[in-house]
Chains A and B, each alone.
Chain A
Amino acid sequence: MELKHLLWGSATAVMVGAPVTAQTQVEFWHAFTGRLGELVAAQVETFNNSQSDYVVEATHKGNYSETLNAGIAAFRAGEQPDILMVFEVGTATMMAAKGAIKPVYEVMADSGADFDSDAYIGAVKGYYTTAEGEMLSLPFNSSTPVLWVNRDALEAAGIDPDTDMSTWEQVGGVLDKLKEAGSECPMTTAWQSWIHLENLSAYHDTPFATKANGFGGVDTELALNGDVQVAHIQAMGDWAKEGKFIYAGRRNEGGANFRSGDCALFTESSAGYAGIKAEAKFDFEVRPLPYWASAVDAPQNTIIGGASLWVMAGQSDEEYKGVAEFLNFLSSAEVQAQWHQDTGYLPITSAAADLTREQGFYEANPGTDVAVKQMTTNAPTENSKGLRLGSFDQIRGIIDEELEAVWSGDKDAKTALDSAKQRGDELLRRFEQANR
């Protein structure tokens, strides 16, 4: 019995093994762990089982920065993967590396795959397309900032939890009341530069950088010290001084404070949904990001954060065909709708958003469509398409430092943002020089 089983086993192994070697391997490096890692693995498995010509091999390479560095080091050694996940702030770096990447629109055209870039949601793909509208990388996980509200905390402070908080003026009033009622943490935030400067600028249709936010060329300069930005950061700084805005850290440290019920309001990515839903023991709600009624009549659209998939240069045509197939699979409405519903990330195609609506997901999970609406209500302008700045990860670090100076009361908003512009511009000039 035992021997027979063993023989059977090896026989099937040989039979299964033979075609595997004939399949084309497609290497895919990503930055996801935990639940997101599992979901990516499941997508890859579904793709591998759906056809027999290609095998996608997904490998986790650390966090976003580490994955990008792994890709760069691998390229220098001639061992680059077919597909590399790069976070949105690395877009300019990848785009400038013309010899290292193969634009997605080219991959699709060469392989003869069915590809319509109009199927993708403008505000999502805009971040990753050229000024001419050619798609360079495939948006993978995209989110946008929203306002998270702890309804119980509002009620406890004697505030109607349904009170309008569409504008920062209204939020200011709510913060006053929360503070008066003795709240220890009326508001906190995650990703301060992304939400309170990059998105603030796009949302108010104000440039964050010259040359169409860097889309027009590497000789761009920061413009984040404009009136709208200074007024907002000054207001936030005043709130910090009065104990109405509590700063928790540069990344999403504030999330723990909100999920534990400490904080009443929280500006964070729409992708925070899964974590908040799992942990919050209070009645919470998603609201659109507030805007300043004093600056605009109605907000423009917010921009995305997250990552996209870049196809690396120097692979065989056969592998590029596999890549095209896999990217098409990822963009299909079913896969996208599932991803959107599982993670809280935005759907990348309108078809996926429609499918999700038809499936009744938005009705069953109120608030999950706030981010989608916020992104898609208006067609993106030059100021709200996205950002394309070199060394942007490091520029964000500079912005973080300057904002911290405002929150601690060391600098006023104008001084801090002027300094951020000056220091950031130095890095942009270095980047321009490196990519001449």
Chain B
Amino acid sequence: MEKRVTFKGLWLPLLLVLPQIVITAVFFFYPAGQAIWQSLFIPDPFGLSMQYVGLGNFEYLLGNPYYRASFVTTAVFSILVTVVSMGIALYLAVLADRLIKGSGVYRTLLIWPYAVAPAVAGVLWLFMFNTRVGVVSWYLGLLGYDWNHVLNGEEAMGLVVVASAWGRISYNFLFFLAGLQAIPKSVIEAAAIDGARFWTRFRTIVFPLLSPTTFFLLVVNIVYAFFETFGVIHTITSGGPQQSTTILVYKVYADGFVGQDLGSSAAQSVILLVIVGLLTIVQFKFIERRVHY
């Protein structure tokens, strides 16, 4: 039977959760409320005047084909970053898990990229793929491939995905490795004795037992791809060519800080807020059911 400790009265528990509530209110609810409030206006940049437009900012945004295309770009980008970074991390973790000697060194080396800030990672990848002086693009040129992410939208997308996923592999690797090591060896050994080969064991035992880790990483990586990849995109493509790498959060920045259109920027923040909320609900409602703890 579950044992629950409860406080009597109302004041003590309220007092104990008060710091948490205050922090959430000041740093989350207040700015979010401000964003919602501002999204109803078209202000001038200096805050000298504001005009109430109701849902005009949302109408303007959703009527804009480039903004609608940005949803697709964001979805493609997030899925690619998540799949690439988690896939490679899982592969590496499985390999590292089987190592008997030297796994410490291996682990340490793989964690390093995580320490590189996204903007710096962006610059590094940009150098390698620079259309005229980049090492990689030069070798590609030797192979007869004319790399030009400055004009080719698909190549630009590929480059920002690789640069964003790269730093993330380390993080995912750590969690996958920890998850793998938490799986009882006896279960796997029992399967092996029953004659299950590696792939069968992985598919029927390891992967299902790893699902809490995978689920957690899925949520975290999608949020990462949505918000934290800004630095990579800003340094490599600035959202171009022809908006093919303009994800939603980049457009918030571009409209707000390049265009000084704070009304549109606030409305976009509200839309992002709603999307992330929906995504989280979907993830916990539907995907978590398949997770075995």
Contact = CB atoms under 8 A, between A and B. Distances in A.
Given A408-B151, A430-B261, A430-B264, A96 B44 contact: yes
Contacts of A65: 257-258
Contacts of B254: 394, 397
Contacts of B7: none
Interface stretch (A136-144, A243-251, A363-371, A372-380): A243-251
Contact of A72 (B152, B240, B260): B260
A289 to B, nearest CB: 24
Contacts of B243: 401
A72 B46 contact: yes
Nearest to B261: A430
Given A96-B44, A248-B150, A430-B60, A410 B242 contact: yes
Nearest to A407: B151
A69 B242 contact: no
Contacts of A423: 66
B255 interface: yes
A247 B151 contact: yes
B259 A427 contact: yes
B45 A72 contact: yes
A76 interface: yes
A397 B263 contact: no
B45 A433 contact: no
A423 B258 CA distance: 16
Nearest to B152: A408
14 contacts: A69-B260, A72-B45, A93-B45, A93-B260, A253-B150, A393-B259, A394-B254, A394-B261, A401-B242, A402-B242, A423-B66, A427-B259, A433-B51, A434-B261
B20 interface: no
Interface string A414-430: 00000000010011001
A427 B261 CA distance: 9
A433 B44 CA distance: 9
A262 interface: yes
B46 A394 contact: no
Interface in A208-249: 247-249
Given A248-B131, A250-B238, A404 B44 contact: no
B64 interface: yes
Interface in B207-248: 238-243
Most A CB within 10 A of own CB, among B47, B60, B239, B255: B47
A436 B44 CA distance: 9
Contacts of B133: 256, 260
Nearest to B45: A72
Interface of B: 42-49, 51, 53, 60, 64, 66, 131-133, 150-152, 238-243, 254-255, 257-261, 263-264
A65 B151 CA distance: 24
A434 B242 contact: no
A76 B47 contact: yes
B140 to A, nearest CB: 16
Interface in A382-397: 391, 393-394, 397
Interface of A: 65, 69, 72, 75-76, 93, 96-100, 247-250, 253, 256-257, 260, 262, 391, 393-394, 397, 400-402, 404-405, 407-408, 410, 423, 426-427, 430-431, 433-436
A403 to B, nearest CB: 10
B181 to A, nearest CB: 45
A419 to B, nearest CB: 10
A96 B152 CA distance: 38
Contact of B242 (A394, A404, A427, A430): A404
A394 B255 contact: yes
Contact of B150 (A75, A247, A430): A247
Given A72-B260, A394-B254, A433-B51, A257 B132 contact: yes
A407 B263 CA distance: 33
A188 to B, nearest CB: 9
B131 A408 contact: no
B150 A434 contact: no
A404 B51 contact: no
B241 A97 contact: no
A154 to B, nearest CB: 20
A423 B64 CA distance: 9
B49 to A, nearest CB: 8
Nearest to B246: A401
B132 A100 contact: no
Nearest to A416: B242
Nearest to B64: A426
A391 B255 CA distance: 9
Given A65-B258, A250-B240, A393-B258, A434 B46 contact: no
A391 to B, nearest CB: 5
A66 to B, nearest CB: 8
Contacts of B257: 65, 69
Contact of B44 (A249, A405, A410, A434): A434
Most B CB within 10 A of own CB, among A257, A426, A433: A433
The 7 A-B pairs of least Cβ separation, nearest first, read A394-B259, A408-B151, A100-B46, A404-B241, A97-B46, A76-B47, A401-B242
A99 B42 contact: no
Contacts of B131: 248
Contacts of B259: 391, 393-394, 427
